[in-house]
Amino acid sequence: MFKIVIIGSGNVATHLIQAFSENETVDLIQVFARKKENLLSFIAPAKIVDNLSDLKEADLYIIAVSDDAIEQVANQISFENKLVVHTSGSYDFNGISTKNRKGVFYPLQTFSKNKAIDFNTIPLCLEAENEADYAVLEKIAKSVSEKVYQINYQQRQSLHVAAVFVNNFVNHLYQLGSEICDNNQVDFEILKPLIEETANKINKLSPKEAQTGPAKREDFNTIERHLQFISDENQKNIYQMLTQSILSNGKKL
Amino acid sequence: MFKIVIIGSGNVATHLIQAFSENETVDLIQVFARKKENLLSFIAPAKIVDNLSDLKEADLYIIAVSDDAIEQVANQISFENKLVVHTSGSYDFNGISTKNRKGVFYPLQTFSKNKAIDFNTIPLCLEAENEADYAVLEKIAKSVSEKVYQINYQQRQSLHVAAVFVNNFVNHLYQLGSEICDNNQVDFEILKPLIEETANKINKLSPKEAQTGPAKREDFNTIERHLQFISDENQKNIYQMLTQSILSNGKKL
User: What is the number of H-type helices and E-type strands within chain B?
Assistant: 9, 8
Statement: residue B65 has pLDDT above 80: yes
Nearest Cβ partner for B170 among A108, A170, A248: A170
Q: Does residue B62 contact residue B115 with C-beta atoms inside 8 Å?
A: no
Interface mutation target, options B120, B174, B203, chain A, most CBs of A under 10 Å: B174
Give the pLDDT confidence of B22-32 residue by residue, as tens digits. Answer: 888 999 999 99
ipTM of the complex: 0.91
* pLDDT for position A252: 41
Tell me the chain A residues in contact with residue B201 when contact means C-beta distances shorter than 8 Å: 110, 112, 115, 171
Give A-chain residues touching B225 at CB under 8 angstroms: 90, 157
| Cβ-contact B4, B56 below 8 angstroms | no
- Average of pLDDT values for B9-20? 93
- Phi, psi for residue B69 in degrees, rounded to 5: -100, -5
User: Which of A94, A161, A233 best tests the B interface by mutation, with the highest count of B CBs <10 A?
Assistant: A161
Partners of residue A207 in chain B, C-beta under 8 Å: 171-172, 174-175, 177-178
Edge-to-edge strands, sheet with A124-128: A48-49, A26-32, A2-7, A60-63, A83-86, A101-107, A124-128, A148-150
Nearest to A224 by CA among A239, A242, A235: A239
Q: State how far Cα A112 lies from the chain centre.
A: 10
pLDDT at B127 over 90: yes
DSSP B5-22: EEE--SHHHHHHHHHHHS
* Residue range A112-117: mean pLDDT, rounded: 78
At residue B245, what is the residue type?
S
pLDDT band at B113 (very low <50, low <70, confident <90, very high): confident
CB contact under 8 A, B180 and A160: no
SS (H, E, C) B30-90: EEECCCHHHHCCCCCHHHEECCHHHCCCCCEEEECCCHHHHHHHHHCCCCCCCEEEECCCC
Mean pLDDT calculated for residue range B15-19: 94
pLDDT band with cut points at 50, 70 and 90 for residue B114: confident
Pick B190's closest partner by Cβ from A123, A165, A209.
A123
Q: What is the mean pLDDT of residues A185-191?
A: 97
Q: What is the pTM of this model?
A: 0.91
pLDDT at residue B183 above 80?
yes
pLDDT value for A113: 77
